Amino acid sequence: MSPDVRPLIAGNWKMNGTRQSLGEIKAMAEGVMGPLSDRVDALICPPATLLYVATALCTDSPLMVGAQDCHRNVSGPHTGDISAEMIADCFGTHVILGHSERRTDHGETDHIVRDKAAAAYQAELTAIICVGETEDERDSYSTLDVLRRQLRGSVPDGATADNTVIAYEPVWAIGSGVTPTAEDIDVAHSFMRSELVRRFGDEGRHMRLLYGGSVKPANAEKLMSIANVDGALVGGASLKADDFLAIYSVYEGLIAETL
């Protein structure tokens, strides 16, 4: 946790979920209605097909709803894409950008991610910009170089603590059941914090830095208690409300410890 930074637990459903799964979102919306919502934010990013109906389910809940990608343009001949404006039109508040699966499957470069983040700001969405090294990059000790390059290339100059969240997701930890050591996460997050403070000053100090990659109820408390880890971006374990809420609830203990 970082002092004065409000944690965020964000779920990324990826290409999972049909109307049948809406019960999980309803259960999450109800599950985050307790007093912890004064201190911790919760967000779920279902596939775009469920976005509008998911936001309708969350109107009376602090659970926010976001999307998993947007185009860099507002509209135009881009078959299959959706724009940041369309997400905002569905009452989405956030958009995940530059996830490693998009960098790999769709050839998204830092430059494209930066343009998408700028489009998100235009539509008054918060961009969750993902960075992280591959296994080969980790093995060649270039993790911090990769993070520096991706942060410089993917985060627009207009980034603030309100409109930008950074998610550190080591590619090899995503969906693998393996996480870095607490010490490695500490090093990566402290490095990102110093890079962001150098570039954005006080805004960088307050920007939320999420950890993502195999976060589960069983390891969430340990991961969320690392310095400069201000929440999680959760894939597989966000598909079930019970798991998502168990991860969110670790802050009951962690916040009590800081009081």
34: closest CA among 15, 4, 62? 62
Maximum distance among all Cα pairs of the chain, rounded to whole angstroms:
53
CB of 201 to ligand PGA, least distance (A): 28
At closest approach, how far in Å is the CB of 173 from ligand PGA? 6
Q: Compose the 155-194 pattern: x for residues touching ligand PGA by CB under 6 A, - for all others.
A: --------------x----xx-------------------
Cα–Cα distance for residue pair 25/19, rounded to 1 Å: 10
User: Known catalytic residue: 206?
Assistant: no
Q: Closer CB to ligand PGA, residue 85 or residue 170?
A: 170
Q: Which of 138, 119, 22 is nearest to 78 (CA)?
A: 119
Using CA atoms, how far apart are residues 167 and 151, in angstroms rounded to an integer? Answer: 10
Any contact of residue 220 with ligand PGA (CB under 6 A)? no
Q: Token digits for 21?
A: 């799964």
In the list 17, 92, 213, 231, the residue contacting ligand PGA (rule: CB under 6 A) is: 213
Question: Is residue 59 classed exposed, middle or buried when 0-12, 13-18 and 19+ CB atoms within 10 A define those classes?
Answer: exposed
State the nearest-atom distance from the C-beta of 157 to ligand PGA, in Å: 26
Structure tokens at 210: 């999420």
Q: Does residue 42 belong to the site contacting ligand PGA (CB under 6 A)? A: no
Residue from the set 46, 180, 212, 217 that interacts with ligand PGA by CB under 6 A:
212
Interacting residues with ligand PGA (CB under 6 A): 12, 169, 174-175, 212-215, 233-237
Q: Tell me which residues are annotated as active site.
A: 99, 169
